[in-house]
């Protein structure tokens, strides 16, 4: 006989973190930042067939001050890198970044001086989406995974503690270069 059985029907029990996480994850507003062929797939995701509006993300924002998700779709040139960072810095907190496609994630097939070899050299990335170009279904799946991460985000002092724990775990992790034979 728990507390839930004694409450009248229609009463919902939750925490402030749970409620804030639910609101944040279901109201993402992506910034439009399509740089190459991946942008076509990102546009298709917003169209009627895939309908990103089902997940509360139909409002692609042209202003970074109104967006909380940056989808970097395509290759980032060295000239575009400062612009990308400026747009990221103009976004309000909390903000998330999704690297869409092989070019945004690792430079793709463009291994030269003109293309940034991974957008994570410029901004912190929350989700990497592989593919050349990734299909709209893959983008929807990545966005749903990002929503799960956002829903589990802590607030206030709990968030600061979570960040410190994640940084400590990253520092103690075995570097990829030293993990030969383990992968």
Report which of 116, 126, 39, 122 is spatially closest to residue 88, judged by C-alpha positions: 122
Tell me which of 36 and 5 has the higher pLDDT.
36
**4-30 pLDDT, tens digit each:** 677 667 666 778 888 888 888 888 888
Q: What's the CA gap between 30 and 63, in Å, rounded?
A: 10
Average pLDDT, the chain: 82
The pLDDT confidence band at residue 171, using thresholds 50, 70 and 90, is confident
Q: With 80 as the cut, is the pLDDT of residue 182 above it? A: no
pTM of the model: 0.79
Q: What's the CA gap between 81 and 136, in Å, rounded?
A: 25
The pLDDT confidence band at residue 37, using thresholds 50, 70 and 90, is confident
- For residue 156, CA distances in Å to 9, 63, 160 come to 32, 27, 7
């Amino acid at each position: 006989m728990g507390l839930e059985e004694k409450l009248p029907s229609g009463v919902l029990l939750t925490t402030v973190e749970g409620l804030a996480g639910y609101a944040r994850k279901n109201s993402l507003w992506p910034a439009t930042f399509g740089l190459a062929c991946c942008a076509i797939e990102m546009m298709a995701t917003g169209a009627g067939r895939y309908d990103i509006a089902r997940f509360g993300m139909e409002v692609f924002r042209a202003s970074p001050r109104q967006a909380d998700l940056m989808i970097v779709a395509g290759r980032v040139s060295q000239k575009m890198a400062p612009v990308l960072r400026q747009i990221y810095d103009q976004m309000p907190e909390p903000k998330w970044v999704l690297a869409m496609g092989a070019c945004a994630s690792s430079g793709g097939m463009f291994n030269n001086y003109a293309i940034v070899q991974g957008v994570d050299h410029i901004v912190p990335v929350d989700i990497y989406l592989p593919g050349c170009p990734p299909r709209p279904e893959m983008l929807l799946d990545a966005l749903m995974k990002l929503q799960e991460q956002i829903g589990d985000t802590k607030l206030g002092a709990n968030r600061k503690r979570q960040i410190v724990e994640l940084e400590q775990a990253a520092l103690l992790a075995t570097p990829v270069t030293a993990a030969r034979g383990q992968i």
